[in-house]
Structure formats: structure tokens, C-alpha cells
Amino acid sequence: MSQGLLLFAHGARDPDWARPFAAVAARLAAQRPGLPLRLAFLEFMEPSLEQAANELAAQGCTSIHIVPMFLGTGGHVRRDIPPLLERLQQHYGATVSWLLHPALGDQERIIQAMTDASLAWLDGPLEPQT
């Protein structure tokens, strides 16, 4: 079974908005050079979830982990992603399994990282913002 990783973010009209997500994808690619990986967006940006999923499946991935790059499990995660996954499941049947993970912002490590970053503003100089 070949695994793939699909990072799924909201998307925005401003291309600079996607910079942190692209940085995550680049770091993942550097840490796991052979891992089939795609960054996809719900709206405004390309590729879409379906396009990225099709690319991973075309690479031979039979198990695709979908990581919602959202700060919480809101409407997009609860209402928008399930029908997208249902379409993929109907299209690929049993040949590909789609593993939807919780939104990143709901994970303890991310909550702690945001806590630490917020407190760092009080504790001393930070890296300059670019």
C-alpha cells in the first residue's frame, strides 16, 4: 500500500495567504523526500482537493491521508469536506482509501505551539516579520 499526504487549506484571493501552507509542504517534502504530497485548497486557489487527490492516485497512492489545515472543526470541515470525499470514494471505489484526519487546530501540539508563540511576544524579541 502506497501512502500519500494531502494538505487541505481554505484558500484566499491573496496569494501571500498561502505562504505558510506552502512552507509546511516544503518542510514535509524535505523531511520525507519520497512521500507523495500535495497541497490543495477549498476555494479561490488551485489545485482543488479533487485535482490533488487525482494526482496522488495517479502516482499509485492507495491510501491518502487528508490533513485539514484549519484552526478548528468548523463548517468547512464538517459540511464541505465530507461530500468531496464521498465523490472521491465513489470514483475510486475500494482502490484508494481516504483517511480524513482532525483539523490541525484541534490537535494538542498545535494548541500548545500557538500558546507558546503568543507568550513569546511577552518574553523577549522575536524574529522580524517578513
Compute the distance between CA of residue 101 and CA of residue 85 in angstroms, rounded to an integer. Answer: 12
76 among known catalytic residues = no
Asked whether 50 and 84 are in contact (CB, 8 A), the reply is yes
Catalytic-labelled residue, pool 10, 65, 76, 91: 10
Tell me the DSSP string of 2-65: -EEEEEEE---SSGGGGHHHHHHHHHHHHHSTTS-EEEEESSSSSSBHHHHHHHHHHTT-SEEE
Active site residues: 10
